[in-house]
Structures are given as C-alpha cells and as structure tokens.
A and B are shown apart, each in its own frame.
Chain A
Amino acid sequence: MATEEYVTVTKNACKLCTPLGASLFFKGICGSIPLLHGSQGCSTYIRRYLISHFKEPVDIACSNFGEQTAIFGGEVNLKVAFDNIIRQYNPEFIGVATTCLSETIGDDVPMFIRKYKEANRDNKLPQLVYVSTASYRGTHIDGFHDSVKATVDILTSEYSYCKRENSINIFPGMLSPADLRYLKEIFNDFDVPFVMLPDYSQILDGSPWKEYQKFPKGGTKVENIINMGTAKACIEFGKILAEQNSAGKLLNKRYDMPCYNIGIPMGIHETDIFFNSIETITGKSTPEKYIEERGRLIDSYIDSHKYVMGVRAAVYGEEDMVVAIVSFLNEIGIIPVLCASGGKSGYFKDKIREMISDFDEKGIVVIDDSDFSHIETFAKQLKPDILIGSSKGYAISRSLKIPLIRVGFPIHDRINGSRILHIGYRGAQQLFDTIVNTLLEKRQESSVVGYSYM
C-alpha cells in the first residue's frame, strides 16, 4: 500500500521508540540505573508506559536538558547526572541511552564518558555503558538489541580470557518475566551454568517490599556479564536478529565462540530446536519433565486440532515476535493471513515466507513499517477470525468484532502482562489453550442453542 499517506504519516503506531527498548534492557541488569540523555519527558513517558505494563516501579533517570543544554551541549548535564545518580543510588551499572534530542545536537557521549572516567580516576565508578538510540532510527526492539550488544561489547572488552568455562550465554531478547523465569528453570534443570542477559524476571515482576528498594532483587550480575567472554557457546533468539549485528555475533567474532542464532522458541518446532541446541552444547539430554510437557502439548494439539484448522489469524508486533507466532500457528493449521510489524528490518517477509510452504496460495499478507491504521484496513479485507498481539490492537478488535489474544508488549488493558508465558512447550500450551478457548467461546456465544457441552 505505497500511497503517499503511507510514507508521510503514522496513525496509531505499532512500535515504540528506541530509548524504551534500551531502558527496558538496562532494567534487567543487577544494580543498574537506566539514564536517558535528553528531555525529561522521554524518561517520564517511558516510565509510565513500562509501569502500565509491568505494574512495578520503573526508575529511569534523565539528564534533564534545558534550553541552554540544547544550545551548548549535554556534557555538563551528563556529568551532573552521573554524580547525582551515584550519590543517591550508588549503582553498579549505569546504562546511558541517547534520545533524539541529544543525537540531533550531536553530543559525543563516548567522549563525555571518557572524560568523566578520567576526572574520577581515583573513585570507584559504576560500569558506564552507552548506547546510541536516536528515536528516528529503528524501533524499540532495535533499542533493546543494540543495548544488549553495547553492554556485552563494553563489559567483555576490558578483559582477556584464556580459559573456556562450561557455561552458556543466553540472549533471550524482549520476552516477558514469565518467559525469563521459564528459561532459567530450563537451564537449571539441565544443570548447566548460564548467564542470561537481560534478566528482569524478578525486577519487573517481584514481591512487595517493606521499604523502597533502590535496586529490586534480581537481574543479570555485572560480573557475570564480564565473564560472558569465557562461555562455551551463546544462544540468541530471533531469526531477524540473526541477520543483524548482535551481541552473540560479537562474542562469536571476538572469542570465536559458537553462537546458536535460533528463532524465539514458540511452538514445538522452534522449541525442539532450542532444546537440541542445549543438548548439542552440553552433551546432556533434555530432562524428562520437558519431554512430558512436549507430550502433553502434542496430545492437546490432537484433541483440539479441528477447532483450529483453517482458522484465520492476524498477527502483529515486533518482527521476531510475529515470526515466532507464525511458526507456532503454522504447525497447528491456523493461517496467519495478516502478519504486520512496525519494524522494518527488510527480512520480515522472507522469514515468514520460508516457514510456510504454500505461502502464495494462502494469500498471506505481510506488511512491515506498518501502523494500526494499515492493520485495520487489511484486517477488514482479510477477515481474520482472531487477532494476536499487544493490547494496542483492541480498537480494531472492538470495531471489527474480532477477538484479541493478548501476547507480547504492551499489555495495558489486562493485569497479566508480566505473567504471559510465550515460549517453550509450556508457553505454547498456554497460548494454544487460550486460542482454542477463545474460538470455543465465540462459537458458543454465536450459537442459538448455547450448549454447555462443546
């Protein structure tokens, strides 16, 4: 739909800006404070947006540009910001992400950091990591992945490693706290040491406190990130990320470390690949518990296959998330008639096409760089039975009367955004049950008889 409107205006964006992804990633490091270098609104809006999803405090500092800062540059503000954060929070790690403002005025943040470190040679400083996240380049997912890479780059570069440990580095990407907890469970059950980056599973989904915690419990430890250079191998989720310059690739290049670039493990096919990767790296077999999970999942696929066969779905979200959902839908017979993303990597359509053998016959529409206005236009034509994506699709769900299966980020109209499990056999089971039950409910409600026995 290459109309003029398409290129000049975005209506109801299906993406957020890059500093949001960076902020979320930095929250997943133990003892870390994200610092946005720019105007105050950026941190406030992003905090508000993340809080509404995770329902947890999200402290993000800001260098609070004023008019003078915009004219003379942000060096002083950044320095003062570091000082104040260190005095008040004493963090182990500060993740600096730029905003469109500091990028546009051309602040040389790496130089500011170098000078700050020099001036504070005698003090013990937190790790200072910088990532360039101009919001006019890419979307929140790019901000996320770029921050992972920047962190690994800076923290592993200062050390030379000579020995290889038995551990695995896992780069899960932007998943839910429930997903991250599940990943940890898997590695623990394999009894293999691992470093997962990031890990906001507790920080953004934790217990109540007696007193305010500057640093909620959990997160990837800085010393563990430093040691990522010694791991035996990396596993990195995201087929589109696999085409890009990622943290895993960096370790692969720098330390000749094998990197398993695999899809986000949604559904049996991709989860099998994930478990096979761990088996290959460790030489251990998948614990019985997961083989049973897999068995139950297949059993339920069989029990309910007729309810889902030929059902039409519209899927939207970050490109890799959509690709993963499509893989899952494809293995149960649901046709992803519309696959949409606000991202624009250039690989989106190819990755989907290569998973679906009769892609063209099925008339599947794939749109990148899209917004909810395009998604609605196509949904009207393609008439999907269900929508799968974040809560931002609710307006379409309501106007077209198509049920919405909520996954991913953000979930602003339900309470369980943190607890949605997407990955692994268990995540597929949850998603499968939700989809089938939604279809059953639709069938039940539209029936004149209204059986209570389906």
Chain B
Amino acid sequence: MTAIHILKEREKQIYEKGSQPFDLTCDKHSIAGSISQRACVFCGSRVVLYPIADALHLVHGPIGCAAYTWDIRGALSSGPQLHRFSFSTDLKEKDVIFGGEKKLYQALNTLIDTYSPKAAFVYATCIVGIIGDDVDSICKKMSKEKGIPVLPVHSEGFKGTKKDGYKAACEALFKLVGQGSINHDSETSKFRINILGEFNIGGEAWIIKNYYEKIGVQVVSVMTGDSRIDDIKSAHEASLNVVQCSGSMTTLAKMMKEKYDIPFIRVSYFGIEDVSKALYDVSAHFKDNPQILENTKKLVSSEIQNIYPELQKIKKALFGKKAAIYVGGAFKAFSLIKALRLIGMDVVLVGSQTGDQDDYKMLKELCDDGTVIVDDANPLELSKYIVEKKADLVIGGVKERPIAYKMGIGFCDHNHERKIPLAGFIGMLNFAKEVYATVMSPVWKFAPRHL
C-alpha cells in the first residue's frame, strides 16, 4: 500500500472490479484544486481540427493557447504544412479593454492574403467570450470578402469540457460538408466512405486508407488526418461514415445521418482484433459487392501472417506483465485492453479523462477482477494504483509519462504527440515492439522499486 489517500469527493469516480457493486460517477466537472489530467474546450477543438493541412488555424486570444499547441502533434500531411504554423492574435491589454475585433479582422485579412488557405478556422479562447468580440460576424464578413469559408470555433476554455470542444469542431466541419462534390468524371466507386476520428498520427490515416482501397472501398474524406477542405466539402457523397475516436466525432456522424441520411458505424484501428473487425464491418455494410468481403478476408489474413511470428516472440517475453492505461477517450481503452492481451499482458488499471457511463460499463465487462477503473484521475491517484497494482507498463500521454518513469515503470505514448503509427496491423507490431522496448529494458533494475 502507498500512503496516498483518495479525496472523499473522488471516491465515487474510482471502482475496483469484484470488490463492490458497479456505481461509477463520471461526466463531472473536475473539482477545483485538483491536478486533473484533463484539458479544456479549446484543446478539444484544436485537437480535432488541427490536422487539416490546407486550412488556416487562427487562435484568437492571448498568446498562451497558440504557443502551447504549436507543432506538438505527430499529425502528418502529404502536402501543405499550413496546419503546423501557430497563428495568434496575441491579444494585449488594450485589446482586452477596447475589444479584439479589429485585430482579428486585420489578422485574418493578412493571413488569408499571405497563405491563400482553402478555409480558415478561428478559435475563440477564454477571454474572447468575456470581452464580447463578435467573432461570428467578423468571420462572416471575411468569408464574403475572401471567398473562402471562415469558420468560428467557439472554444472558450471554461464553457464546458474537452467534449464540448469536440462538438464545436464538429459543428465547424459540418458547415463545410455539402459545399463541394467529388470529381465524378474520374473513376469513382459507389462504395464510398468517410473515415472519421482518424488524425494521421505518424501516418496512421495513410495505413488505414490503404487497407480500404485494397478491399475496394473509396475514401472520400478523412476527418481530419491529412485532410483537405475540398474533401471535407464532398463528404456528403459517401454512403457510410466509419467513426473512430467516437468521443470526438460521433456528433458529426449524427449530424450527417440526420441531414444526409448517411449511416455510421463505430470502429477502432488499434489491435489486430479491432482493425480486422473494422474492415469486416465495412465490407458487411457493402454486402451487395461480395468482392469487398473476399478482398477483406485476403487482406486480413495476409497482414496477420506478416506480423504474427514476431508478435508471438514478443508475447513470450511479455507474458504475465501488467499494464495500466490512462487515456483521453475511453473507447481507445477497449482496443488497448484487447491489444495488450494479445501480447500476453494483463491490465490492472484503466481510466480515461472523458469516458461516460456506457464506456465505463463496457470497460468493466472487459476487465478482470481486481482491475481498477478510474474517471478523471490525477497524478496521485494514478501513481497510487500503478504502484499498488505493480504495473510494469503505463500507457498514456505526455502528462502520464513522468509519473511512470519516476516510479521506474515502462511507458508507451498512445496520444497525439507520438510520431510512430500504432494503428492497423503494422501499428500493432509497432505497439508490441514499443511495449517490449520499454518493459524489457534493463535499466529498471536500477530503479528504487527494485532495490
């Protein structure tokens, strides 16, 4: 046992399977004074829209929000790199007093003229809402003057949680959908999908897109990995939305279902089991073309054959090791549990920043007895259970990394800042290799917990 106590208000957000009836509280605003691993509304919007490479992303507010999100993600582009710039209106005291509208207008004017983007997103940060800048009308005016969509993204940090930021981003994307059309002169398939909630971290969208093309399905747009405004505009011409990272993109899928009658399915591309299921689910949707199912079978079996022998070797080494998972959206955790099992590891802790009641019920079903499930954790809680449950590996993002390392425990980055693709079959192998590299490193023998 560690000497760390759980705050009373937090007890309901932590559950140990097998020891008590399931009654986990979630979807709560983090308590004041906590050192939550969560971010804000702005973060949610920025993270979803960031990979759109031919759009201008202008952060309207003081410098911090733009500075901290400058080029921090591994979201790759095959062409333009405009998304990697950090543009800010850098509001100063006088702007806060007299309003930042003029500055915003001038900034947009200059930036659009300089970079000729296909669209612009204007992120309204905390104080913009307070000082009352009419961001919508400036965007409208600018859109008219420049002839490109200029879209406000209402992401004032305090107006909810990261989830509300996802929603604001989806609303901005939805305004684009339906404005364009795919080139019907060239050869197009009638089996067309949009890939939603895939951000091309380390080139993952390319891997996934390639699978779809191989099985005979055309990808109209990826939202938003390596994405282009024109593709998003044509997204309504797809006949299926395939949604990963459902926390962020289900809103958009639902909007498109309502307006364009496009059905959606939820998938994950992490782990052999889930990526195979994703491809099979899509082929099942297009069952009037049996060739797609045939192609899928072939693809899945050959991809698995390619990586299986090496996975088996890794599994032998990792068998019985223990893992702790703490991620943003809970949906990713489902896949990770399965992927870890495939390489012989047990999950002793699983948690998320933004999971809902259904997510946690699902996690409970997936987990073994004794596994701790936690919502909106902080460093003290994470460290407590990681140590008490004797984890050999932590999977999380940048803020979880030092917690693991400090306690002499391996770590795998499964967040947006990583540079290695972990999706798809090849991603599974990369993941296994990374887990092996960290868990089996000889350096841990020097860590205090082994002395």
Residues of A within 8 A of B (CB): 4-5, 8-13, 15-17, 19-20, 35, 38-49, 51-52, 55-67, 69-70, 76-78, 80-85, 87-88, 99-101, 104-105, 134-137, 139, 207-214, 392, 395
Contacts and interface: CB of A to CB of B under 8 A. Distances in A.
28 contacts: A8-B103, A8-B107, A13-B86, A17-B63, A17-B67, A19-B64, A38-B158, A41-B42, A44-B399, A51-B402, A62-B33, A66-B160, A81-B32, A84-B31, A84-B32, A84-B34, A87-B7, A100-B127, A104-B127, A134-B62, A135-B64, A136-B62, A207-B448, A209-B407, A210-B449, A211-B407, A212-B2, A212-B4
B31 A17 contact: no
Given A12-B85, A136-B92, A208 B40 contact: no
* Residue from B67, B159, B401 whose CB has the most chain A CB atoms within 10 Å: B67
Contacts of A35: 33
A67 B88 CA distance: 24
Contact of A9 (B41, B67, B110, B157): B110
A136 B89 CA distance: 11
Question: Which 6 pairs show the lowest CB-CB distances between chains A and B?
Answer: A41-B40, A17-B64, A84-B33, A81-B33, A212-B383, A39-B157
A104 B110 contact: no
B41 A41 contact: yes
Nearest to A58: B402
B284 interface: no
A138 B409 CA distance: 39
Given A40-B157, A51-B398, A212-B387, A8 B127 contact: no
B88 A13 contact: yes
Interface residues of B, number: 77
Interface string B1-43: 0111101010000000000000000000111111111111111
A13 B65 contact: no
A35 to B, nearest CB: 7
A231 B36 CA distance: 39
Contacts of A84: 7, 9, 31-34
B28 to A, nearest CB: 11
A210 B407 contact: yes
Contacts of B62: 17, 100, 134-136
Contacts of B40: 39-42, 44
A44 B328 CA distance: 13
A212 B31 contact: no
B242 to A, nearest CB: 30
B356 to A, nearest CB: 18
A51 B401 contact: yes
A156 to B, nearest CB: 27
B95 interface: yes
Contacts of A78: 32
A13 B127 contact: no
Contacts of B63: 10, 13, 15-17, 135, 139
Nearest to B91: A136
B35 A60 contact: yes
Contacts of A10: 63, 66, 87-90
B131 interface: yes
A107 B90 CA distance: 22
Contact of A57 (B58, B126, B379): B379
Interface in B363-399: 379-380, 383-384, 387, 398-399
Contacts of B107: 8-9
A382 to B, nearest CB: 22
A128 B405 CA distance: 31
A134 to B, nearest CB: 7
A380 B90 CA distance: 25
Contact of A55 (B64, B67, B402, B448): B402
Nearest to A216: B406
A211 B40 CA distance: 29
B380 A38 contact: no
Contacts of B87: 9-11
B33 A101 contact: no
B90 A13 contact: yes
Given A9-B111, A82-B33, A48 B158 contact: no
A55 B405 CA distance: 9
Contact of B69 (A20, A45, A210): A45
B405 A208 contact: yes
B158 A212 contact: no
Interface in B79-121: 85-93, 95-96, 103, 106-107, 110-111, 114
B319 interface: no
B36 A64 contact: yes
A80 B91 contact: no
A203 B165 CA distance: 34
A322 to B, nearest CB: 18
B314 interface: no
Contacts of B158: 38-39, 65-67, 69-70, 101
Given A39-B157, A136-B96, A64 B32 contact: yes
Nearest to B129: A70
A85 B33 contact: yes
B308 interface: no
B398 A52 contact: yes
Contacts of B398: 48, 51-52
Given A13-B63, A80-B32, A100-B127, A46 B106 contact: no
B225 interface: no
A214 B380 contact: yes
